Chain A
Amino acid sequence: MTTPTVTLRHVHTTLALHQLSPAPAGAAARRPLLLLHGLGEQTPAQPLELTATWPGEVWGLDFTGHGQSSVPRGGGYTAETLMADVDVALSYLIPAGDDHRVCVVGRGLGGYVALLISGARPELVSGVVILDGPGLAGGGPAPHSTSVTRTRLSASDSGPATSTPDPYALLELSRDVRPGDYAVTYARQAVEFSGLDHPITVAARSRPPWLEEVVDTPGVVEGTLEAALRAYSS
């Protein structure tokens, strides 16, 4: 099965947004589900088995420097720019004038980014599920000793990375600082402005410090992906 892929522009980056499955026949209203992969991964060719019962279309976004999205020259990744990647996907999935919302499921790094977008765009996101996956912890809650690493160290290495995942994505997004109170700021905004009682479900079993604090935030619940999708689809 080939999946339709939409190419989107995010400032200087080209993003690949893949439709993994269409809306089931007879679906009453648009209810897209957006999958976010983990660090170093890409959108899977098939939707997760558990999302097969989702009552709407299922999409997956390749982050900047991953999958079929473009590779920036000289790195510069932050979780915040990946959040803006997701916002560009939301602008496509929710055309101007439409009022449906998108459920976001993220693995690892994608789970952290899903949390950020749920707090920054609470009116566009209806439910977030954070799953285990690569890049969940990031660099921890406080700065580490400074390091400067250039992936191309000799003149004989010609040109920047042209294949994905970009080594700078792996380098920078595995050690970005993620203080618990910063993550909680987003969780609080999702709880306050989403209109949902439980806008964030934590299904991850790994609990890096930022996620420990998010789990303790009133309105955030722990549960399985299956139960969360049932709740967010009703």
Chain B
Amino acid sequence: MTPSTATDTHRYRPARARLRDEPGGSTYPGARRPDRFRTVDSDGLALAVWEWGEPDAPPLMLAHGGFDFAGTYDRFAPLLVDAGWRVVSWDQRGHGDSEHADLYSWEADRRDAMAVLDSISQDPIPLVGHSKGGALLLALADAVPHRVSHLVNLDGLPSSRSWPDVPEHNRTQMRRSELAEWLDHRRAAATKVRRPGTAAELAERRGRMNPRLDPAWLEYLVGIGAYEQPDGWRWKIDASMRMGGFGPWRPQWSMDLLPSMGMPVLCVLGLDIELMGWGTLPEDVLAKLPPTGTFVPLEGVGHFVHIEQPDLVAGHVLEFLS
């Protein structure tokens, strides 16, 4: 049976964010744009892949969190590059400069991650992931342990305490109103576009979910993760994506993969609980830490450990990888 053809009007793609040697864009102290850009074809979907560092340096792969994009590593990645690594990250489907997908799921994200990994190296390399990206790489390491030399998880270990920031994956309370509101959103999302605003307004909106982060940093991110039209700036992320969600998956099932890991594992946990965090406590992690695991709890640090304390966290990661 030949299917009908979906129209492509929703796939308007603005110009991609700039590279390090390209003009324009915002700046932030210590932040450095990637050196190279390429795309990876994940079964018809074009994923935006970003690289920092020398092309022949040993590679590692970085995965961003939900509703973020690779550019949120502009402060952290250069610290690894300056220690001799080639750092490769990608915008997850629907995020940043990657194409908006028809469907989104945990399994599809995992397959996209595999496509990016295949484009980097067939040899085992270190994987580093924050938040949703950390949980994603934990599952990838479970599926293809022979491709992973080290696993670094930055505040990305969901527990039964977890708060849902991953669409259609974590459970809400399954109230009737939550189910109906999600379906209402799906009914309306075909024609939904993100609300325009000034760059400062977009930064301010993002700040409501990231209250601990420097407003200047958030405004810097607008220049990468948003685009400008005559009526204002809009975040590039697919407007059909939505915070929260529900599904049969229990967050702690991701954490349940941790004890089986055979490669060296570093788990960094911010101890200050906040909105976008997952509420995981040290005892949740320690109970599941594998024999190859190292646990680093950070006092006075929130969910975005690598943005709040880039030098401290990079130091832990580099020591672990050395």
Contact = CB atoms under 8 A, between A and B. Distances in A.
Interface residues of B, number: 53
Given A91-B187, A119-B179, A146-B257, A77 B3 contact: no
B297 interface: no
B240 A11 contact: yes
Contacts of A168: 43
A121 interface: yes
A119 B175 CA distance: 10
Contacts of A150: 42-43, 111, 114-115
Contacts of B1: 42, 67-68, 163-164
Contacts of A119: 179
B105 interface: yes
Contacts of A230: none
A95 interface: no
Interface in B45-89: 45
A67 B4 CA distance: 9
A78 B247 contact: yes
Contacts of B2: 68, 162-163
A21 interface: no
Contact of B105 (A9, A70, A76): A76
Interface string A53-80: 0000000000011011111111111111
A147 B143 contact: yes
A179 B248 contact: yes
B183 interface: yes
Nearest to B112: A74
Nearest to A67: B1
Nearest to B4: A14
Interface in B104-149: 104-105, 107-108, 110-112, 114-115, 139-140, 142-144
A178 interface: yes
A185 interface: yes
B6 A143 contact: no
Contacts of B38: none
Given A12-B10, A182-B248, A74 B43 contact: yes
B186 A10 contact: yes
A168 B183 CA distance: 23
Contacts of B15: none
A145 B248 contact: no
A14 B105 contact: no
Interface string A77-95: 1111101100110010000
Nearest to A15: B4
A88 B187 contact: yes
B43 A148 contact: no
B312 interface: no
Interface of B: 1-7, 10, 42-45, 93, 99-105, 107-108, 110-112, 114-115, 139-140, 142-144, 168, 174, 176, 179-180, 182-183, 186-187, 189-190, 240, 245-250, 253, 256-257
Interface of A: 7, 9-14, 16, 42, 64-65, 67-81, 83-84, 87-88, 91, 119-122, 143, 145-152, 159-160, 162-164, 168, 172, 176-179, 182, 185, 189, 193
